[in-house]
């Protein structure tokens, strides 16, 4: 029975990912005093891209066409780890956070390789910058989740979510607070949002992710964009699940699931507004200040880990 | 002859007799294929012997004390068998590769030299791993050093190479001195020269003696393994060796040092205090981090791979250190998990590092250069090599579905469990070590994205790279076997983990089987593999129009290969962030010097001398030389002064005899 | 009453965490204005703590102290500092001797030091170890700010954070000093900040800079 709900969870994440992106864009536009595009615009973009031709550079090898689909498949597999509506997920019952983080790393590795196969300087530039950001973001990401795993005495994502869900919401332990701040900072870096990377820029000085996908078009580009949105959705869901999972369905009744859907929507809405406000209010960091930003996240996650000893 | 002893004897006999075949084949060329078939079959027999010992616990033994002045016996208990399996499974594909590679790159005489020395080198490693007496172990140890130096020297003996080989021999003997010293300190307490009596002698030692033994073993085996700061020989020796030899040195020889360390510390010295574990953990963390940082700055393919060996040995030592800490805190289950992580990583590293070196050899074969800045676009021209090299890159980075991930996962999980220990120090240090491992993993991913991206993807950066062609079938086969092993262990790790169970339970008595712990992962990985492959295949089966066109690059016309990112530019941001680890010497020469504003030429030269050589080894050497010069004053040249020295020594001995 | 007490207890339980986070962020901030705003946030958290304590202890004195903290430290002093900073027209950067990441790690180390140091006292005197550690961490970080920041205005902020720490320490151990003393301290603080504002302008006029590391005449 839970298998059905688990599959629905994954499909939900996949389907609402473009909507999330559209909503962030819309809220940002409203904050910046514009009208903004429709929230369903990313769906229209995906539909348009899937119907177009795939353009492949002459100098590229077969890896160029392989990378988008491997990236997409790995991100899908990662999305199957995260509990959305109730404290279990397709792969997250036995799968732990290390496997999740490394599936995302697999996706990113192939994206970087695909960028370098294009044969232009933009691809190499995006790949080199992405290598910098992802290298430095790996340690705080894993350390923050290790802190939570130590405190909840288990490493599987579903148990970590369940452990937090049965605790008192106001027992704000320092471990969770530090891990939340560190994970939030790393989420922004991993998903390529301001202040680390601007997702709507195409200026050479400021691109990281956009530079990597500059040579892609048509269905390949659609896969990459969709995978990026899925990654953002799954990081948000992970944040919600690890730090504020109250409302998650304990049993599989319709009422419980209904409450879970409503609370999930509410929490995602809060995160969307927060991200849009952050993106509108803060300037993008200079490339060489991003290591400082991630260094602060690392210091906070180290604190989270060390505080697990004091929290006993 | 007992049937179960046959594989081991065939292994030894086969390897021993190959040099004779090689010598014969100098004259009669038709015999030459036998010189490769014989060692390969001997190695396969060795693998069978190892599997026998691992699965059934049969202890095959060979005793040739009648041939040697001191007791010389080989026997396979589970730990030896595991490392023997490692040697045999990695060396067989390398030998297959070498069969074709040697023919293409060396003249007749050198080919035969290598074909004669290589099996002896493998034999020496087998002796080290299977030794059951002190004499056998030290004999094999010394033989390994000499034979590997000889194999490197076959390729040339001039200038820079001579200094590198000399440094290699020097450091190996310094390390061997420490290993010999450790054994000699232990011997007076034991009844005989075999390992069983050494094991029995250990409980009789005092804590101080045990500590000294551990430190000697740590330094001695650490020199051979390549722990920072004793690693300086690695990037000198590995790049200049012939490709199959570098693959074996990096993949297999370093693991014999790991074997020696495990055997000495875990088997001979029970009751390990916690500080040993912390020392090993710290050494592992520093080696891993510095190894990968130095690797990122390299653009010579083989030297980069040599530094990555330092990094991976660091990761193995992280697992060993964690195992020692867990053991001293009374958590045998987690000690077993950490030890199995270290053992599995040894096997994984042997597999993918040899594959990487063979790939580098294939690249050199096709393009005659080892410099990444002159490569590019090789995947289109060397498809099989490119695919297996990609498998190796994904394995060393530790991505899921490849073997590197499983051992790194086990190491991570043991660190996470360390956070729940009672000791506050352990509960803080172990999770932070996981942070270091995460950083190292990220840096390795960046480095290999650079290696693969610059060498195999994009446009070729030189005419040779453009003309590259695929390597012969045998070389492809050798690499393909290793790649298949990487994928197999990555998707179905249970096979090897079950073998490791037995080893761990022998080394750490009272530990439960650690493979049960990773059962969940072993279940998930095949499903994830099926899922990813199914989606990828399905995507390509859907008909879709594809058009080949020129690179867009925002509409820039006339792109050429020099507009791509080079290896140096790719790694620049990371080198900038970690600039404390590199201290290059930079000189800018402007010609002519009297016209600085309108120069005819400006030359920029940046040389990275390894910081360790400059700040650690050079001052130490200078100090030793100064002390030696001062000591030389005793050598007056006067005969009567020398007689005086003799007389004083006699008086001192008489006084000691009387009063001490 | 149950709800109010519940809210008060939960506020007290969770406020130490917010203080740790503000300490980290002040240490690693890059602009003077961010530091001043974070200081105001820190004081707001302390106000909430005092209100919670007041409702738990039913003491009117504490409410008066809370109001004073709100007016003086959350509103008046930051406003004065922001005005000075705007009129000074110097670069908005903090001019630190350490990079933001290094400062974050040093602040983390200071927090750990604070935690390690207060454990025996918290045990022996049955006090809240988190609050005590937060107060000690604020004192240490205030000192770190004064040592490593070169702007004169940042010296003021550093001293204010240090004073916050001492105030919180007094709050945790003695549940507040008598009202008269509190009022005296607050007015002292306000006057001192206003005077420092004037002094910084004078420093700028005399030396044409506000870089404290260049003021080297204090020797014999």
Name the domain boundary from B537, B563, B583.
B537
At residue B133, φ and ψ (nearest 5 deg) are -130, 160
Q: Phi/psi of residue A146, each to 5°? A: -65, -40
Higher model confidence: residue B476 or residue B509? B476
Mean pLDDT, chain C, rounded, equals 85
User: By residue range, what is the domain housing residue A33?
Assistant: 2-310
C-alpha span between A195 and B406 (Å, rounded): 34
Domain contains B366 = yes
Q: How far apart are CA A215 and CA B458, in angstroms?
A: 12
Whether C173 has a pLDDT exceeding 90, the answer reads no
pLDDT > 80? residue C59:
no
What pLDDT, on the 0 to 100 scale, is given for residue C196?
85
- CB atoms under 10 Å from CB of C91, counted, come to 11
B370-377 average pLDDT score: 91
Count the Cβ atoms, other than its own, within 10 Å of residue B648. 10
- Per the model's pLDDT, the better-predicted residue between C217 and A38 turns out to be A38
Mean pLDDT of A34-57: 93
The model's confidence at residue B176, banded by pLDDT at 50, 70 and 90, is very high
Of residues C99, C33, B432, the one with CA closest to residue A293: C99
- The predicted model gives C85-89 an average pLDDT of 85
For chain C, the straight-line distance linking the first and the last C-alpha, in angstroms and rounded, comes to: 64
User: How many angstroms away from the CA of B249 is the closest CA of chain A?
Assistant: 29
Q: What residues have CB less than 8 Å from A201, skipping those under 6 apart?
A: A207, A210
Are B546 and A147 in contact (CB < 8 Å)?
no
Share above pLDDT 90 across residues of chain C, in percent, rounded to a whole number: 29
- Mean pLDDT along residues A182-207: 90
User: What does the pLDDT read at residue A248?
Assistant: 84
- Distance, in Å, from the CA atom of A128 to the CA atom of A122, rounded to the nearest integer, reads 10
Looking at the partner chain, which of A55, A106, A132 has a beta carbon nearest the beta carbon of B573?
A132
**Average pLDDT of the residues in B469-479:** 92
Ramachandran region, residue B57 (left: φ > 0; alpha: ψ -120 to 50; beta: rest): left
Residue C66, pLDDT above cutoff 90: no
Instruction: Say how far apart CA B242 and CA B362 lie, in whole Å.
Output: 12
Task: Out of B445, B551, B570, name the one closest to residue A105 (CB).
Answer: B445
pLDDT at C1 over 60: no
- Quick one: what percent of chain B has pLDDT higher than 90? 56
* Alpha carbon separation from B152 to B40, B97, B169, B306, B513 (Å, rounded): 21, 18, 11, 15, 42
The region, left, alpha or beta by phi > 0 then psi within -120 to 50, assigned to residue A285 is: beta
* Maximal C-alpha separation, chain B: 99
pLDDT at B307: 94
Q: Which residues pair with B549 in a beta bridge?
A: A57
Return d(Cα A147, Cα A175) in angstroms, integer.
Answer: 7
Angle CA A171–C64–C175, to nearest 5: 50
Query: Domain residues for B647?
Result: 617-659
Over residues B279-335, the pLDDT tens digits come to 999 999 999 999 999 999 988 999 999 999 999 999 999 999 999 999 999 889 999
Pairwise pLDDT comparison (A94 vs A279), residue with the higher score: A279
CA distance A218 to chain C (A): 41
Q: What was the ipTM of the complex prediction?
A: 0.95
Alpha helix locations (H) across B329-377? 332-367
pLDDT given for residue A33 in this prediction: 93
Count other Cβ atoms within 10 Å, centred on residue B640. 7
pLDDT at A169 over 90: no
- Higher-scoring residue by pLDDT: C142, C7: C142
Tell me, what's the pLDDT at B393? 97
Mean pLDDT over residues B388-397, rounded? 96
Q: How far apart are the first and last CA of chain A?
A: 37
Write the CA distances from B304 to B235, B239, B283, B300, B555, integer angstroms: 8, 9, 20, 6, 35
**Where does the pLDDT of residue C185 fall: very low under 50, low under 70, confident under 90, or very high at 90 and above?**
confident
Q: What percent of chain B has pLDDT over 70?
A: 99
Chain length of chain B: 660
Mean pLDDT of B154-172: 90
Total number of domains in chain A: 1
pLDDT category at A42 given cuts 50, 70, 90 is very high
Residue B215's DSSP bridge partners are none
User: How much is the pLDDT for C219?
Assistant: 62
Residues 6+ away with beta carbon under 8 Å from B660: none
Q: Decide which of B490, B516, B537 is a domain's last residue.
A: B537
Residue B638 has pLDDT above 80, yes or no: no
Residue B150 lies in a domain: no
* pLDDT of the residue at C116: 85
Indicate if the pLDDT at residue A88 is higher than 80. Answer: yes
Residue B243 lies in a domain: no
Q: Using alpha carbons, select from B567, B565, B100 the residue that is nearest to residue B366.
A: B100
| Burial class (CB within 10 angstroms; exposed 0-12, middle 13-18, buried 19+) of A259 | middle
Split at pLDDT 50, 70, 90, the class of B198 is: confident
Asked whether C157 and C81 are in contact (CB, 8 A), the reply is yes
Q: How far apart are the CA of A196 and the nearest CA of chain B, in angstroms?
A: 15
Segment among A59-68, A186-195, B59-68 with least mean pLDDT: B59-68
| pTM to 2 decimal places | 0.91
Mean pLDDT of A97-105: 95
Residue to mutate among A124, A219, A230, with most B CBs inside 10 A, is A124
Closest CA to B399 of B440, B433, B445, B468: B445
Residue C47 pLDDT exceeds 70: yes
**Are B232 and B610 spatial neighbours (Cβ–Cβ below 8 Å)?**
yes
Give residue B2's pLDDT.
66
Name every residue in C having a CB less than 8 A away from some CB of A.
Answer: 10, 13-14, 16-18, 20-21, 24, 28, 99-102, 104-105, 107-108, 111-112, 115, 130
Within 8 A of B551 by CB-CB distance, chain A residues are 57-60, 118-120, 215
Classify residue B18: in a domain, yes or no.
Answer: no
The verdict on residue B488 lying in a domain is yes
Does residue B598 surpass a pLDDT of 90?
Answer: no
DSSP B414-440: HHHHHTTSSSHHHHHHHHHHHHHHHHH
For chain B, what is the domain count?
A: 2
Given a contact cutoff of 8 angstroms between Cβ atoms, the answer to whether B513 and B501 are in contact is yes
pLDDT of residue C126: 81
Does the pLDDT value for residue C207 go beyond 70? Answer: yes
Interface test with B, best of A98, A147, A214 (most B CBs within 10 A): A98
In-domain check, residue B173: no
Residue B610 banded pLDDT, cuts 50, 70, 90: low
Same domain, B472 and B330: yes
Answer with the one of B537, B571, B592 that is the final residue of a domain.
B537
Euclidean distance between CA atoms A232 and A253, whole angstroms:
29
Cβ atoms of B552 and B537 within 8 Å: the answer is no
Instruction: Record the tokens describing residue A242, joined without a space.
Output: 């690890």
Dist CA B471 CA B473 (whole Å)? 7
Q: H/E element holding B591? A: strand B585-591
Contact assessment for residue C220 and residue C104, using Cβ atoms and an 8 Å cutoff: no
What local confidence, expressed as pLDDT, does residue B278 receive?
95
Q: Which chain A residues touch C if contact means CB-CB below 8 Å?
A: 170-174, 177-178, 181, 289, 291-296, 298-300, 302-303, 306-307, 310
Examine the domain organization and report whether B349 and B486 are in the same domain. yes
B477, pLDDT greater than 60:
yes
| Largest Cα–Cα separation, chain A | 60
Percent of chain A with pLDDT over 70: 99
Question: What local confidence, expressed as pLDDT, does residue B35 receive?
Answer: 86
Contact predicate C168/C138, CB 8 Å: yes
B1, pLDDT greater than 60 = no
pLDDT category of residue A223 using cuts at 50, 70 and 90: very high
**Is residue C220's pLDDT more than 60?**
no
Residues B402-422: what's their mean pLDDT?
93
Same domain, B429 and B315: yes
Beta strands in chain A (DSSP E): 54-57
- C21 → closest Cβ in A171, A177, A298: A177
Given the DSSP bridges, would you call strands B61-63 and B73-75 parallel, antiparallel or unpaired? antiparallel
The Cα diameter of chain C in Å comes to 64
pLDDT of residue A118: 87
User: Residue written as tokens 């006084």?
Assistant: B655
Cα-based distances in Å from C36 to B367, B530, C160: 61, 56, 10
Q: Which residue has the higher pLDDT, B48 or B444?
A: B444
Contact B449 A131 (CB under 8 A): yes
């Amino acid at each position: 029975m839970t298998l059905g709900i688990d599959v629905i969870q994954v499909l939900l994440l996949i389907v609402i990912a473009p909507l999330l992106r559209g909503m962030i864009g819309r809220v940002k536009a409203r904050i910046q005093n514009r009208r903004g595009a429709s929230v369903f615009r990313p769906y229209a973009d995906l539909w348009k891209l899937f119907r177009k031709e795939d353009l492949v550079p002459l100098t590229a090898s077969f890896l160029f066409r392989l990378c988008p689909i491997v990236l997409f498949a790995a991100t899908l597999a990662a999305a199957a780890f995260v509990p959305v509506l109730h404290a279990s997920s397709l792969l997250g019952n036995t799968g732990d956070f290390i496997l999740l983080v490394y599936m995302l790393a697999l996706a990113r590795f192939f994206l970087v390789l695909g960028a370098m196969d294009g044969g232009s300087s933009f691809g190499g530039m995006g790949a080199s910058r992405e290598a910098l950001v992802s290298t430095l973001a790996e340690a705080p990401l894993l350390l923050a989740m290790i802190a939570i795993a130590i405190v909840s005495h288990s490493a599987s994502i579903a148990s970590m979510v369940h452990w937090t869900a049965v605790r008192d919401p106001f027992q704000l332990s320092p471990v969770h607070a530090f891990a939340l701040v560190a994970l939030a900072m790393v989420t922004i870096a991993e998903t390529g949002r301001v202040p680390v990377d601007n997702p709507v820029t195409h200026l050479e000085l400021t691109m990281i992710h956009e530079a990597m996908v500059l040579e892609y078009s048509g269905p390949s580009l659609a896969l990459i964009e969709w995978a990026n949105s899925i990654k953002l959705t799954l990081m948000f869901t992970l944040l919600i699940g690890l730090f504020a999972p109250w409302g998650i369905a304990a049993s599989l009744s319709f009422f419980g699931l209904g409450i879970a859907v409503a609370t999930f929507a509410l929490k995602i809405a809060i995160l969307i507004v927060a991200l849009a406000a952050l993106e509108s209010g803060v300037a993008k960091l200079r490339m060489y200040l991003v290591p400082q930003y991630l260094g602060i996240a690392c210091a906070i996650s180290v604190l989270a880990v060390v505080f697990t000893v004091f929290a006993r | 002859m007992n049937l179960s002893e046959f594989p081991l004897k065939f292994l030894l006999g086969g390897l021993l007799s190959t040099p004779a075949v090689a010598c014969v084949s100098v004259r009669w060329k038709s015999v030459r294929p036998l010189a490769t078939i014989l060692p390969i079959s001997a190695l396969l027999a060795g693998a069978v012997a190892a599997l026998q010992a691992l699965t059934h616990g049969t202890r095959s033994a060979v005793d040739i004390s009648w041939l040697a002045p001191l007791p010389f016996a080989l026997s396979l208990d589970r730990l030896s068998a595991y490392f023997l399996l490692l040697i045999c499974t990695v060396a067989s594909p390398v030998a297959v590769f070498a069969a074709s590679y040697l023919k293409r790159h060396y003249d007749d005489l050198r080919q035969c030299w290598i074909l004669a020395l290589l099996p002896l080198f493998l034999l020496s490693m087998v002796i080290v791993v299977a030794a059951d007496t002190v004499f056998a172990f030290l004999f094999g140890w010394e033989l390994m050093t000499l034979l590997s130096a000889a194999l490197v020297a076959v390729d040339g003996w001039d200038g820079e190479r001579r200094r590198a080989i000399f440094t290699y021999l020097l450091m190996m003997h310094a390390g061997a001195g420490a290993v010999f010293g450790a054994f000699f300190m232990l011997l007076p307490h034991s009844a005989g020269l075999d390992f069983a009596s050494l094991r029995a002698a250990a409980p009789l030692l005092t804590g101080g003696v045990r500590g000294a033994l551990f430190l000697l073993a740590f330094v001695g085996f650490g020199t051979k393994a390549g722990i920072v700061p004793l690693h300086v020989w690695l990037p000198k020796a590995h790049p200049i060796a012939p490709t199959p030899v570098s693959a074996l040195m990096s993949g297999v020889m370093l693991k014999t040092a790991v074997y020696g360390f495990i055997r000495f510390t875990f088997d001979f010295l029970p009751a390990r205090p916690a500080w040993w574990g912390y020392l090993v953990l710290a050494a592992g963390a520093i080696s891993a981090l510095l190894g990968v940082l130095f690797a990122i700055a390299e653009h010579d393919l083989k030297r980069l791979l040599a530094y990555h060996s330092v990094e991976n040995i660091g990761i193995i030592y992280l697992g060993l250190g964690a195992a020692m800490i867990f053991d001293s805190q009374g958590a045998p289950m987690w000690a077993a998990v950490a030890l199995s992580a270290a053992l599995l990583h040894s096997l994984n590293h042997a597999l993918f590092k040899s594959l990487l070196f063979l790939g580098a050899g294939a690249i050199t074969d096709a393009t005659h250069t080892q410099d990444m800045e002159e490569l590019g676009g090789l995947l289109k021209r060397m498809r099989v090599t490119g695919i297996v090299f990609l498998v190796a890159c994904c394995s060393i980075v530790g991505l899921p579905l490849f073997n590197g991930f499983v051992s790194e996962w086990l190491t991570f999980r043991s660190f996470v469990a360390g956070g729940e220990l009672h000791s506050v120090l352990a509960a803080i240090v172990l999770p932070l070590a996981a942070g270091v491992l995460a950083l190292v993993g990220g840096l390795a991913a960046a480095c290999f994205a650079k290696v693969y991206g610059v060498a195999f993807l994009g446009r070729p950066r030189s005419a040779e790279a453009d003309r590259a062609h695929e390597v012969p079938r045998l070389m492809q086969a050798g690499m393909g076997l290793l790649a298949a092993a990487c994928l197999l262990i990555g998707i179905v790790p249970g096979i090897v983990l079950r073998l490791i169970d037995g080893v761990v339970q022998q080394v750490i008595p009272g530990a439960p089987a650690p493979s049960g712990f990773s059962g969940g992962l072993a279940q998930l990985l095949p499903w994830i593999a099926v899922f990813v492959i199914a989606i990828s295949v399905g995507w390509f089966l859907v008909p879709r129009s594809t058009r080949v066109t020129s690179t867009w690059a925002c509409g820039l016309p006339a792109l050429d290969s020099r507009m791509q990112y080079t290896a140096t530019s790719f790694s620049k941001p990371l080198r900038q962030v970690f600039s404390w680890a590199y201290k290059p010497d930079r000189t800018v020469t402007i010609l002519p010097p009297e016209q600085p504003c309108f120069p005819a030429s400006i030359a920029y030269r940046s040389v990275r001398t390894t910081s360790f050589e400059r700040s650690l080894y050079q001052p130490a050497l200078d100090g030793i030389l100064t002390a030696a010069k001062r000591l030389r004053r005793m050598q007056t040249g006067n005969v009567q002064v020398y007689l005086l020295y003799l007389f004083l020594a006699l008086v001192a001995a008489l006084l000691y005899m009387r009063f001490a | 009453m149950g709800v109010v007490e519940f809210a008060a207890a939960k506020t007290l339980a969770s406020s130490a965490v917010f203080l740790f986070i503000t300490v980290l962020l002040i240490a690693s901030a890059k602009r003077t204005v961010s530091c001043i705003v974070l200081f105001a946030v820190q004081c707001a958290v302390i106000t909430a703590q005092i209100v919670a304590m007041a409702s738990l202890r039913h003491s009117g004195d504490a409410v008066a102290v809370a109001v004073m903290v709100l007016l003086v430290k959350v509103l008046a002093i930051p406003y004065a500092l922001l005005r000075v900073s705007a009129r000074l027209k110097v670069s908005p950067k903090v001019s630190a001797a350490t990079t933001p990441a290094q400062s974050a790690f040093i602040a983390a180390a200071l927090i750990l030091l604070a935690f390690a140091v207060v454990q025996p006292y918290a045990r022996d005197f049955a006090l809240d170890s988190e609050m005590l550690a937060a107060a000690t961490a604020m004192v240490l970080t205030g000192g770190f700010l004064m040592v490593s920041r070169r702007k004169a205005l940042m010296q003021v902020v550093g001293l204010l954070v240090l004073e916050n720490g001492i105030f919180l320490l007094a709050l945790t151990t003695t549940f507040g000093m008598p009202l008269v003393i509190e009022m005296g301290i607050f007015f002292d603080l306000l006057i001192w900040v206003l005077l420092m504002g004037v002094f910084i302008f004078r420093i700028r006029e005399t030396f044409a800079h506000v870089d404290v590391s260049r003021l080297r005449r204090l020797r014999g």
